[in-house]
């Protein structure tokens, strides 16, 4: 009798686990559907004509697929008095993001290397101050940064925007690399010093080759932050140097005649494609890199 009861209990537990698993899958599927629905609506709307948008269902598939909205968004949409599309602003964002990501990543790696491996008096205080900079709201630095850019003579320029993003991102990149480098044994640095290697030789030959996981994390983080930034772009740019996020805002809020929702959706997707591409290609390394330096420190 006891064996029969035990088998019944085991069967009930197995059935309960299967039901729980399917409930979990159903909940995850509903959440995924809810999360992806706006993207689905954006894509389908961008492939429809204006007449079909007015008469059709919002979530219906396009009856006649057309790329006219994409062509207009790329090279013909009006961002005010100019009707050049997002193309020039897209390349402005490329010119801003790539140098800013490269410089802030390199400087963050060197800062993290110094703080983690070259202990000196006040290192923890300096690191704490840089960490504090990560929590300063964007709005607080607008006026001081505008004043600094004016003094340096790079206000309203692409180098000025690069400088802003490097300075504001330095606290995050230093934090990432410092937490990664503290997991590397200090004996490695000491042995290299005994062999006659100096500060830069140790960094370039030992630490940087070991840093690929955290470099991927930093590049994804910085590229996403810089590409999606609107406040710095609208505050520190002028005509000819504005990033794609500012152009997207101007397209959506500029109305000349009929409101072209398909063009708005196409422009939004074009603006989001680079960050989407980065996450699809390297997203699986993001969590891996974040946890790589979490054992120590």
pLDDT tens string for the chain (297 positions)?
455 555 655 666 777 788 888 999 999 999 999 989 999 999 999 999 888 888 877 788 888 889 999 999 999 888 878 888 899 999 999 999 999 999 999 999 999 998 888 877 877 888 888 888 888 888 888 999 999 999 999 999 999 999 999 999 999 999 899 888 888 888 888 888 888 888 888 889 888 888 888 998 899 999 999 999 999 999 999 888 999 999 999 888 876 667 888 999 999 999 999 998 888 887 777 777 666 655 444
Q: Which two tokens stand for residue 163?
A: 């400088």
283 in helix, strand or coil? coil
Q: Can you give the pLDDT at residue 297? A: 43
For residue 97, the model assigns a pLDDT of: 96
For residues 228 and 226, give the distance between their C-alpha atoms in angstroms, rounded to a whole number: 6
pLDDT of residue 291: 66
Q: Domain 87-295 belongs to what topology?
A: MetI-like fold (1.10.3720)
Could you tell me which of 221, 63, 76 has the C-alpha nearest to residue 134?
221
Query: Do the Cβ atoms of 265 and 42 come closer than 8 Å?
Result: yes
Looking at residue 78, what is its pLDDT? 85
Q: Tokens in use for 258?
A: 């009929």
pTM here? Answer: 0.85
Cα–Cα distance list, 13 to 18, 19, 20, 42, 56 (Å):
9, 10, 10, 44, 49
Question: Which pair of tokens denotes residue 147?
Answer: 């004043």
Which two structure tokens, joined as six digits, stand for 248? 């997207």
pLDDT at site 164: 94
Residues of the chain with CATH 1.10.3720.10: 87-295
Q: What per-residue confidence (pLDDT) applies to 93?
A: 96
pLDDT at 269: 94
pLDDT of the residue at 96: 96
State the pLDDT at residue 255. Answer: 62
User: CA-to-CA distance for 269 and 267, rounded, in angstroms?
Assistant: 5
Please tell me the predicted confidence (pLDDT) of residue 1: 47
Which residues does 6 contact at the CB level (< 8 Å), separation at least 6?
A: none
């Amino acid at each position: 009798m006891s064996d029969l009861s035990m088998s019944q209990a085991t069967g009930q537990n197995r059935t309960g686990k299967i039901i729980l698993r399917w409930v979990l899958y159903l909940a995850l599927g509903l959440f995924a559907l809810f999360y992806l629905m706006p993207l689905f609506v954006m894509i389908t709307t961008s492939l429809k004509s204006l007449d079909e948008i007015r008469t059709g269902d919002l979530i219906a598939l396009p009856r006649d697929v057309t790329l006219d909205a994409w062509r207009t968004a790329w090279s013909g949409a009006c961002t005010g008095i100019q009707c050049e599309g997002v193309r020039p602003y897209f390349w402005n964002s490329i010119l801003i993001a790539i140098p800013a990501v490269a410089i802030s990543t390199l400087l963050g790696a060197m800062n993290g290397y110094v703080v983690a491996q070259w202990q000196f008096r006040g290192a923890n205080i300096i690191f704490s101050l840089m960490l504090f900079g990560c929590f300063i709201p964007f709005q607080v630095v607008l006026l001081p940064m505008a004043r600094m850019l004016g003094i340096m003579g790079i206000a309203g320029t692409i180098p000025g925007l690069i400088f802003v993003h490097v300075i504001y991102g330095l606290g995050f990149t230093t934090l990432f690399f410092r937490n990664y480098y503290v997991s590397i044994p200090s004996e490695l640095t000491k042995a290299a010093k005994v062999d006659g290697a100096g500060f830069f030789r140790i960094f370039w030959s030992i630490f940087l080759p070991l840093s690929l996981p955290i470099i991927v994390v930093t590049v994804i983080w910085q590229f996403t932050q810089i590409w999606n930034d609107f406040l710095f772009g609208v505050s520190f740019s002028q005509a000819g140097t504005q990033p794609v996020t500012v152009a997207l805002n101007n397209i959506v809020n500029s109305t000349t005649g009929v409101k072209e929702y398909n063009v708005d959706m196409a422009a939004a997707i074009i603006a989001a494609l680079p960050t989407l591409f980065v996450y699809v290609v390297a997203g699986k390394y993001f969590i891996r890199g974040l946890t790589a330096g979490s054992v120590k420190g």
